[in-house]
Amino acid sequence: MKTSRLPTYFLSHGGGPWPYMTGGFRSNFDKLEQSLIEMRAELRLFLLESGLASDVETRDFVPDSEQEAKIRAELQPHLDKVSFPSAQLEPGRYVTESDDIVAFFAAKAGRDPAGMTVYRNYVDGVFAMSMKLWKENQELKKAASAA
């Protein structure tokens, strides 16, 4: 009998689209773009910097794939709404919020995320700016379609 390690978290596969892509071709990557937003790379950074990466089973998948369908089916009985990232923190305990997942691992590792340099630089720098630009882009798209 094969047993899996706990905790486990599930996330969509990352990779593009590049910011300079425009026009109709870029729309081919809308699902990928959304999955990158949902991926929340800070989980990976936190796990690496806290030394827990090798203790956690990570299941990556490509959006709309058979593998995603299997993971959604596995998570569905445990979550009100399946979204990613998601984590099985212990048997029967599943969560979907990145902050909750980080808090669990921080307590497990005895680490304060505020004192983790690489993690904080990402969350407060690159990630914060990316989210700000993404939200601004969404607002501009909405305004342009209303005009």
Q: Which domain holds residue 52?
A: 8-112
Structural domains in the chain (count): 1
Strands 57-61 and 86-90: unpaired
Determine, yes or no, domain membership for 45: yes
* DSSP secondary structure letter of residue 122: I
Residue 137's pLDDT band (cuts 50, 70, 90): confident
Q: What is the pLDDT of residue 135?
A: 83
Question: Can you tell me the distance from the alpha carbon of 143 to that of 60, in angstroms, rounded to the nearest whole number?
Answer: 34
CATH of residue 58: 3.40.30
Q: Dig out the tokens for 36 from the structure.
A: 């990158």
The three-class DSSP label of residue 61 is: strand
Mean pLDDT rounded to a whole number for the chain: 79
Residue 11 β-bridge partners: 60
What is d(CA 82, CA 54) in angstroms, rounded to the nearest whole number?
25
With a pLDDT cut of 70, the percent of the chain lying above it is 73
**47-60 pLDDT per residue, tens:** 888 988 888 888 87
pTM: 0.62
